[in-house]
Amino acid sequence: MTVHRAPLACGVLLFVVAIVPPARSQAPLTHYDSILLATQPTNLLVIEPSLQHRLNLLAAGLDREVVLCLQGSVSGDTAVVADFVMPDLVRSMADAVAPLPCGSGTLAVWHNHPWTGPDTAFGIRVPADFCSLSEPDIRTVVADSIPFAVVSVGRAGRPVVCWWRRAQVVINRRVKYLPRFPRQWRELPSLMSNATPP
């Protein structure tokens, strides 16, 4: 709602109320979305430092996408991942990957995006812009029941990692790509600055 004040000739202020619909950044919640939000109690994802270090090293060295199934434990509303299993891959290319499904103990599905440089056609100027879910990524997350999706941008000066709750992806399932959310991504120190895990 926007309020405008306009002075009248007689010195009285007139308040004009204009109802301006808010800009939509996501699709309206459906009944299914509300049920999903209520049934997914894990809100926070913690990636153990040694696992994050291994994921950064993998992402930095890969020139094609791969998928890893991150495993760990849940305490309250927090999932803590400390290890991974690599599923069989049907196909792996520089810009796409087709894995077999992760097992039932998986708390997050990780995949990498190899940084190849800016792409102004898609608005990608820096590696952090490449930390997003594509339309095929979104379809995969929506079709699965794993609580989190994680993307690492590798082969860049500094590793970038971002993550989404499955519920966030389901709610935004009608978009062509889903960018990183403001508080759900990190640009990490260069791998050259620390040879051992934190």
Q: Would you list the domain boundaries of the chain?
A: 31-193
From the number of C-beta atoms within 10 Å of its C-beta (0-12, 13-18, 19+), residue 101 rates as middle
Give the per-residue pLDDT at 119: 86
Residue with the bigger pLDDT between 167 and 84: it is 84
CA 4 to chain centre: 38
- Is the pLDDT at 192 greater than 60? The verdict is no
- Is the pLDDT at 24 greater than 50? The verdict is no
Residue with the bigger pLDDT between 25 and 45: it is 45
Would you say 102 and 109 are in contact if contact means Cβ atoms under 8 Å apart?
yes
Task: Give the C-alpha separation, 86 to 72, whole Å.
Answer: 14
Q: What residue type is 122 in one-letter code?
A: F
Place of tokens 């499904």: 101
Residue with the bigger pLDDT between 91 and 27: it is 91
Sequence-distant (≥ 6) Cβ neighbours of residue 18 within 8 angstroms: 1, 2, 3, 4
- Is the pLDDT at 68 greater than 60? The verdict is yes
CATH architecture observed for domain 31-193: 3-Layer(aba) Sandwich (3.40)
pTM higher than 0.85: no
The overall average pLDDT reported for the chain is 80
Residue with the bigger pLDDT between 51 and 12: it is 51
- Is the pLDDT at 147 greater than 60? The verdict is yes
Strand bridging mode 160-165 / 148-154: antiparallel
Would you say 63 and 155 are in contact if contact means Cβ atoms under 8 Å apart?
yes
Average pLDDT over every residue of 166-183? 88
Which of 111-115, 119-123, 189-193 reaches the highest mean pLDDT?
A: 111-115
